Amino acid sequence: MPPGQEAKRPAPAIARDLLGALPDALLQHILSFLPTQQAVRTCVLARRWQHLWEDMTGLRIRAANSPEVPCAPEELTLVGDLREFVDHLLLLRGRSPIDTCEFMFNVPVTCEDDVPHVNLWIRHVIRCNVRVLKLSITREDHDLGLYFSVSALPIISRHLRRLELYDTRLNDSILNFSGCPVLEELEIYNGNFVHSTKMLSKSVKHLSLLDCSASEQLRTYIDVPNLLSLRLEDPSDRTPVLGSMPSLVSAFVRYGPQTWSDDRCYNSESGDCDDDQCQGCYTVKGANSDDCNNNGTTKNKSVLLRGLSEAESLVLIDECQAGPEYKVKIKGIHSAMEASTISENLTVVEVECDMVDERVLEVLNFLRTLNICFSYEEQKGQAEPESITS
């Protein structure tokens, strides 16, 4: 050893094995953030790690290099590559509680037999008292599109608090959440509501419906009376009917440039030809009979605004013509001089669109019945329309 240099002391044992000093519960929590296949491989690290993975609080059934959703089906791992692993995983874990579970893979048309098998996986984790469940399962090259059909049985869980559904074919049974009394957050991306007439929940407080499609003949009735926040973006075909939401605080509704809506009347440019039998106006099948006339039309002639009028803050965006760079912004504030005809909660309304046409005026005229006074921001040479001045 050269003169003047001190010998390096070996690092203390606890510094060399910081992970080993952590309690099992914390290690299992850390493992829960890994794709489950990688987490299980830690069983070869040491004797202590052999069974740690069995009681992980989270399962992420996905490939190690899977992208974040939403993504293309070809970017996902195939269910056939996971089937044997998941079968053994769930068998060895038994009924150990699960906090978070994520399924993210592709079930191609050649794997039709795996559909009921995957549904059994989903039912198993629900029985394990899962609190957060995320299903991102697609059907590449399937004749009926990318949608995965969840078992036509209602979800019953006293522990499920958050549910995320991606590329899912929905039905009335799966949308009946009366058996989930603590479910508070529901997010559906690219959901197919073609065979769904009603969504029911008394516990959901935050609802997001993004890029969802519906039937051309009927609407889905959204019955979530205790909702606090709603996000509705780019609905296709028939716009859903919103029931009464007296606790609603904030609502965001956007129609993007790729949105295709069947909510159009070919007899009138304004969207209401005053024909109660016109399917293109306001016909509402599947809605609560108390909210409809004898012929099925809504009494207040609005499928969205009846529920949205309860909100304290409401944003309506129409990007169908010009994209996100809107030219017109209209802000409405509830008049304190007069009582609202429908709701005392609606205080702020913002409408952003490319131009004020007859469709926008229909919305504004309805909101004026709620004693909303509008202020107009002129942009890019747009003239102020006389119909919305207060």
Please report how many Cα atoms fall inside a 13 Å half-sphere around the Cα of residue 176, on the Cβ side: 10
Bridge partners, 59 (sequence order) = 101
Within-domain flag for 52 = no
Within-domain flag for 352 = yes
Rounded CA-CA distance 55/203 in Å is 29
pLDDT digits (tens, 9 = 90+) for 338-379: 655 555 665 666 777 777 777 778 777 777 776 777 766 544
Query: Among 55-69, 227-241, 296-310, where is mean pLDDT lowest?
Result: 296-310
Range of the domain at 387: 321-390
Structure tokens at 142: 């399937």
Within-domain flag for 315 = no
Give yes or no for residue 133 having a pLDDT over 80.
yes
Within-domain flag for 368 = yes
The residues, any chain, with a CB within 8 Å of residue 85's CB and separated by 6 or more, are 37
**pTM, two decimal places:** 0.76
Mean pLDDT of all residues in 146-155: 83
How much is the mean pLDDT over the chain? Answer: 76
- Kindly indicate the confidence band of residue 86, based on its pLDDT and cuts at 50, 70 and 90: very high
In what side-by-side order are the strands of the sheet with 221-223? 198-200, 221-223, 241-242
pLDDT digits (tens, 9 = 90+) for 221-242: 899 999 999 999 988 877 888 8
Domain count, the chain: 1
Q: Are 191 and 214 in contact (CB under 8 A)?
A: no
Kindly report the number of other CB atoms within 10 A of residue 214's CB atom.
24
What is the pairing mode between strands 348-353 and 328-334? antiparallel
Rounded CA-CA distance 93/39 in Å is 13
pLDDT of 60: 92
Within-domain flag for 130 = no
pLDDT of 380: 45
Within-domain flag for 63 = no
- Kindly indicate the confidence band of residue 217, based on its pLDDT and cuts at 50, 70 and 90: confident
pLDDT of 294: 41
In what side-by-side order are the strands of the sheet with 148-149? 148-149, 168-171, 192-195
Within-domain flag for 338 = yes
- Kindly indicate the confidence band of residue 390, based on its pLDDT and cuts at 50, 70 and 90: very low
Within-domain flag for 328 = yes
pLDDT of 47: 86
